[in-house]
Structure 1
Amino acid sequence: MPVEVLFVGDLMLSAPEPARFFAPSREILTGADIAVGHLEWPHTERGQVCVVDIPAPACPPAHLDAVADAGFEVLTLASNHMFDQGPFGVADTVAAVRARGMRPVGAGATIEEARRPAVVERDGITFGFLSYNAVGPRESWATPVKAGVAPVRVINHYELDVASPGSAPAEYTSVEPESEEAMRADIAALAADVDVVCVSLHKGMGFVHATLACYERPLARAAVEAGADVVIGHHAHILRGVEVYRGRPIFHGINHFVPAYTAETDPLGGKRPRPSRAPSIGFFTPDPGRAPFPFPRDSRHTMIARVVVDAGGIVEAGFIPCHLDTDAVPVPGSDATVDYVERITRDAGLAAGFTRRGRHVTFLDRATTGERAWA
């Protein structure tokens, strides 16, 4: 019997009454066999700011009730903000997720805990989940003696490509070999124990809708080569393209899903301190709405990634298009979002064909290709 797995991107839950943000999508999410979300911010009542950038707020642990009620079973935690409230923030978030019957992955008291997979079984098929942060900051990384998230280290190299000193250099990025090998080892070990491996990668350049950084495709493909059956990207606060590699779907960025900000947690005008040397986020005009939304208009396009598998492998992969309304609530069903994903996939030079089927869109279909998704 086919098993449907749904994935959503960043959940940022500082606003009161967070359940309202899931109302339009609740039926879809609770109807899935497994629903997976990415929890971006720490949930704690005893956090202490431990970052050099704009810190994420300490969200109330009780706000996770809304996530559990929306049907989520697995929460990936390897984000650039999970350590923003220090080791207590990590510990309290992990504990709060577990207390509500959900499974955390990607963060912990040590690197060993952060790299430990979550495993779920449905209808005789076992699913394993891993979560990695490829965007830093370094302070967020777990170590053998420090809490944090599971990292994949990316190396930056800058080269002056024109004969004009002082010009802006070209940036080249690559995955640090030892870090990649650690990720590959995790995936291979998990693939030996479960039927389906799902890898979450917090990666990409913020607000850049099509261009992938040099490291992104090699990193996602390395995960597939190691044994991943599904690769899910997020972090950029904008949708990215999709592709199929070796019969496996890669979602390069599924955007945030619930950006439940308040005036105090809006980095463009709230009360949180902003370091003078913090990365600029002033290169776009925020799209106005009734609720705080410190992102450009294209960032209102989002999706619920969808993968269906059976004992023979991946049956199909695609997404349910959604659009964030003026209250920043994701509403399923948006033809404009489908058009947008098709365009950014093409603009990124990724190969994927799209078929619209009722409320969802597919770009991988075993009935069409006739291929097994895994041996």
Structure 2
Amino acid sequence: MSVTVMSVGDLVVDEPDPASFFAPAAGTLRRGDVVIGHVEVPHSTTTAQVSTDVPAPPADPAALVAVAEAGFHIVTLAGNHVYDAGDEGVADTIKYAQEAGLATAGAGLTLDEARRPAVVERDGLRVGVLSYNCVGPRESWATSRKPGCAHVKVLTHYELDHASPGGPPAVYTFADPAHLERMADDVAALAERADIVLVSLHKGVGHTPAVLAMYERPVARAAIDAGAHAVFAHHAHIMRGIEVYRDRPIYHGLGNFVTVTHALTPAGGDGDSAERAAWARRRIELYGFAPDSAMPFYPFHPESRNTAIAVCRFDREGLVSAGFVPCWIDDAGRPVPLGDGEEGRRVAGYIERITRQAGLDTAFAWDGDEVMVRRG
């Protein structure tokens, strides 16, 4: 008896005909017993907008039906945009996801609700998923009396360690110990009542190839130390490396999956969002790229079209195998699974390369149409 868990990165389903974007991958996803994705933006009919960051307008609630029909069972919600449409946006996203048949984790009308895991049962094995946002903004965080997401507060310290005032500092990041302990308590509690414990982390440096910030490995490892069998991360909108720690996989960033929206692409004219236009300029300054003008619905780094579906198999003894299916986001914004061919090996090679650049020694090996990972 075994259970196949699949997980992908960010889902932003904010274009017409949402089912079409999942069509190439749906056959692969439906082979998973438990399939997890991260819903990045609110799904609501509200017009409220409370974001203090780049605005992410709510997507059509009907798009969540397409997510479920593509093969997903659980969606994680702890992310930096979950509160962009305020209290109503949080409540609507949970309601519409659950009405579509999706279990949710990571957001709620209170912090206790946001910390509550999603639990499903397959062949007598209980699979639990917890979800945390590590990147802010603070407005997105739930409290005992405010809707929002479960979170791990990460502190940033800048140190000028050379004799050039105004020069570039060294950057140190680390999790607030109290928040890390709270996450570990949640994981340990879930391990008491679930056979398989999975943790979703919204973390990382956006739109930047390969780099892992200082806090990322310790937070992910803390989840494993507390009892998690695997960690799946997202937020950076670009793939990150894969680590195997204590013989359990940490996918430091699964990048984009279906992420289609015009919300980050300036439309021009007097009616356009000033914040959106400013973000388009700042994106070049911060990250050194401009999106492909031929894909205005895909406003992300060119390398982000390399992506993957994480695949982990478990039995009653724990993890049996871990790996991924390489995918490429095509010109229509659709993630396309790739087998052991030229294109599949190119994407797998990219993932192995950024893993090495991040200082991780994971070993990669093809097994059929999947790439397996193990400690190097």
TM-score (norm 2): 0.94
Which stretch of structure 1 is more off in the superposition, 281-290 or 115-124? 281-290
Query: Which whole-Å CA distance do the structure 2 matches of 1:320 and 1:182 have between them?
Result: 33
Q: Could you say if the C-alpha distance between residues 128 and 208 of structure 1 is closer, same or farther in structure 2, counting changes exceeding 3 Å?
A: same
| Residues 172-219 of structure 1 deviation map (CA, whole Å, 9 limit, x = unaligned) | 100001110110110010011111110000000011221110000000
- Say what the alpha-carbon RMSD is for the aligned residues: 1.6
Which residue matches 2:341? none
- Shift of residue 269, structure 1, vs aligned partner: 4.8
1:295 aligns with 2:297: no
SS state of the match for residue 282, structure 2? coil
Q: Is the 2:283–2:290 contact (alpha carbons within 8 Å) kept by the matching residues of 1?
A: no
Unpaired segments of 5 or more residues in structure 1? 370-375
Query: Which whole-Å CA distance do the structure 2 matches of 1:268 and 1:132 have between them?
Result: 30
Q: Is the 1:205–1:236 contact (alpha carbons within 8 Å) kept by the matching residues of 2?
A: yes
Q: State the one-letter code of the partner of 2:142.
A: A
Which residue matches 1:372? none
Q: Is the 1:201–1:234 contact (alpha carbons within 8 Å) kept by the matching residues of 2?
A: yes
Which residue matches 2:325? 320
| Residues 303-327 of structure 1 deviation map (CA, whole Å, 9 limit, x = unaligned) | 1011001112111001000010111
Query: Which whole-Å CA distance do the structure 2 matches of 1:288 and 1:329 have between them?
Result: 17
Which residue matches 1:281? 283
SS state of the match for residue 211, structure 2? coil
| Residues 76-116 of structure 1 deviation map (CA, whole Å, 9 limit, x = unaligned) | 00010010010100000000011111101100100010000
1:341 aligns with 2:351: yes
Q: 2:361 aligns with which of 348, 351, 358?
A: 351
Q: State the one-letter code of the partner of 1:224.
A: I
- Shift of residue 273, structure 1, vs aligned partner: 3.4
Q: Could you say if the C-alpha distance between residues 275 and 11 of structure 1 is closer, same or farther in structure 2, counting changes exceeding 3 Å?
A: closer
Q: Is the 1:238–1:254 contact (alpha carbons within 8 Å) kept by the matching residues of 2?
A: yes
- Shift of residue 284, structure 1, vs aligned partner: 1.1
SS state of the match for residue 129, structure 1? strand
Counterparts of 1:90-169 in structure 2, within 5 Å, are 90-169=90-169
Which stretch of structure 1 is more off in the superposition, 353-362 or 137-146? 353-362
Q: Could you say if the C-alpha distance between residues 89 and 338 of structure 1 is closer, same or farther in structure 2, counting changes exceeding 3 Å?
A: same
SS state of the match for residue 75, structure 2? strand
Q: State the one-letter code of the partner of 2:275.
A: R
- Shift of residue 30, structure 1, vs aligned partner: 1.3
Which residue matches 2:316? 311
Aligned length, in residue pairs: 364
Q: Could you say if the C-alpha distance between residues 106 and 47 of structure 1 is closer, same or farther in structure 2, counting changes exceeding 3 Å?
A: farther
Counterparts of 1:161-200 in structure 2, within 5 Å, are 161-200=161-200
Query: Which whole-Å CA distance do the structure 2 matches of 1:324 and 1:72 have between them?
Result: 18
SS state of the match for residue 166, structure 1? coil
Q: Is the 1:53–1:275 contact (alpha carbons within 8 Å) kept by the matching residues of 2?
A: no
Which residue matches 1:81? 81
TM-score (norm 1): 0.94
1:330 aligns with 2:335: yes
SS state of the match for residue 20, structure 1? helix
Q: Could you say if the C-alpha distance between residues 276 and 23 of structure 1 is closer, same or farther in structure 2, counting changes exceeding 3 Å?
A: closer
Which residue matches 1:266? 264
Q: State the one-letter code of the partner of 1:347.
A: Q
SS state of the match for residue 186, structure 1? helix
Q: State the one-letter code of the partner of 2:327.
A: C
Q: Could you say if the C-alpha distance between residues 291 and 165 of structure 1 is closer, same or farther in structure 2, counting changes exceeding 3 Å?
A: closer
Q: State the one-letter code of the partner of 1:54.
A: V
Q: State the one-letter code of the partner of 2:32.
A: A
Percent identity over the alignment is 49
SS state of the match for residue 136, structure 2? coil
Q: Is the 1:119–1:129 contact (alpha carbons within 8 Å) kept by the matching residues of 2?
A: yes
